[in-house]
Amino acid sequence: MDWAYIGRVLPLYGKAAWLTLRTGAAGILLAAAVGLLGAAALRWRVPVARRIVSAYVEVSRNTPLLVQLFFIYYGLPKIGIRTDPEVCGIAGLAFLGGGYMTEAFRSGIEAVDLLQEESALSLGLTTGQTFVHVILPQAAAISAPAFMANVIFLMKETSVFSAVSLMDLMFTAKDQIGLYYRTAESLLLLVGAYLMILLPLSLMGNFLERRLRHAGFGT
C-alpha cells in the first residue's frame, strides 16, 4: 500500500466526492418533488393522471439507471436535446428516484385515515389545505423510513454516472487504476469515500426509524 500516493491523490478524490454528493443530492431532491406530485395525483384519483403516473412508475422502476442515462445522454441529442454529464446524471437519478418516491409517499398518504380528510373538509378547509395541513404531515412521518431507504439506494446508484463521463468517484477510481495501476489504493479510497457519504445517511435513517416507532408511527 503506497501511502504517499494516497496522500497525493486524496484531493482528487475529495473533489470527485463533492461532485458525487452534489449531483446525487440534486437528483434526490428532484426525485422527492416528482414523487410527492405523483403520490398527490394518485390520491386525488384523476383517471388520466393516475394512468400517466402509474405508467411512469412502472417504466422508471423497471428499467436500469444505466439505460436511462444512455437514453438521456446519447439518445436525446438525436432529436436536438443535449445535456452535459452532470445534468444527465441529475435528470436520470430524478427519473429513477421519482418512481420509488411516488410509491413511498403513496403508501404514507393511503395510511392516513380517510375520516381525517372528511373531518377537515367538513370544517371548511379546501382540498388543497386539507392535503397540505392534515394529510401531508402525517404521511411524511409514516413514509420517512421508506424515504430514507430510497435516499441511500439512489445515492449508491450514482456509481454508474461514470458511464456518461461524469468525473465522479467511480470515474476517478477507474481513471487512476488505468493510468497508474494503483488498484488497491484506488479501491481503498473509493470505498472510504462512499462510506463517508452513505454511513451518515444510514445512521440517520436508523435513528429516524427508531424515533418514529417510539412515537407510534408505522406500527
2 in any annotated domain: no
**Cα–Cα distance between 39 and 109 in angstroms, integer?**
8
Mean pLDDT of the chain: 86
The DSSP H or E segment spanning 157 is helix 136-157
Evaluate whether residue 1 is within a structural domain. no
CA pair distance 83, 63, nearest whole angstrom:
20
Question: Which is more confidently placed, 217 or 210?
Answer: 210
Is 25 part of any domain? yes
Instruction: Indicate whether 219 belongs to any domain.
Output: no
In the chain, the number of structural domains is: 1
- Model confidence at 216, pLDDT cuts 50, 70, 90, reads low
Whether the pLDDT of residue 110 is over 90: the answer is no
What range defines the domain where residue 14 resides?
Answer: 9-214
Residue 154 falls inside a structural domain:
yes
Interval 121-167: pLDDT, tens: 788 888 778 878 888 888 888 888 888 889 999 999 998 888 888 88
Q: What is the pLDDT of residues 63-97, one digit of tens each?
A: 999 999 999 999 888 888 888 889 999 999 999 99
Enter the C-alpha cell of residue 64: 436500469
Q: Is the pLDDT of residue 196 over 60?
A: yes
Q: What is the pLDDT of residues 10-41, one digit of tens each?
A: 898 899 999 999 999 999 999 999 998 888 88
Residue 131 lies in a domain: yes
Domain of 22, CATH number, reads 1.10.3720.10
3 lies in some domain: no
Separation of alpha carbons 196 and 176, rounded Å: 20
* Residue 119 placed within a domain: yes
